[in-house]
Chains A and B, each alone.
Chain A
Amino acid sequence: DIQMTQSPSSLSASVGDRVTITCQASQDIDKHLNWYQQKPGKAPKLLIYDASNLETGVPSRFSGIRSGTDFTFTISSLQPEDIATYYCQQYNNLPPTFGGGTKVQIK
Chain B
Amino acid sequence: QVQLVESGGDVVQPGRSLRLSCAASGFTFSLYGLHWVRQAPGKGLEWVAVISNDGSEKYYADSVKGRFTISRDNSKNTVSLQMNGLRGEDTAVYYCARQGRQWLAFNIWGQGTMVTVSS
Contact = CB atoms under 8 A, between A and B. Distances in A.
Interface of A: 32, 34, 36, 38, 42-46, 49-50, 55, 87, 89, 91-101
B105 A96 contact: yes
Nearest to A32: B102
Interface string B78-100: 00000000000000000100001
A98 B105 contact: no
A93 to B, nearest CB: 8
Contacts of A97: 47
A28 B108 CA distance: 26
A97 B50 CA distance: 13
Contact of B109 (A44, A55, A91): A44
Contact of A96 (B47, B110, B111): B47
A49 B46 contact: no
Contacts of B103: 91
B101 A87 contact: no
Interface residues of B, number: 21
Contact of B105 (A45, A89, A99, A101): A89
B109 A94 contact: no
Given A46-B106, A49-B107, A94-B59, A100 B100 contact: no
A42 B100 CA distance: 19
Contacts of A91: 100, 102-105
Contacts, number: 60
B44 A55 contact: no
B45 interface: yes
B95 A43 contact: yes
B105 A49 contact: yes
Interface in B14-61: 35, 44-47, 59, 61
Closest 6 CB pairs of A and B: A91-B104, A43-B109, A91-B105, A96-B104, A98-B45, A101-B44
A105 B11 CA distance: 32
Contacts of A99: 44
B44 A98 contact: yes
Contacts of A98: 44-47
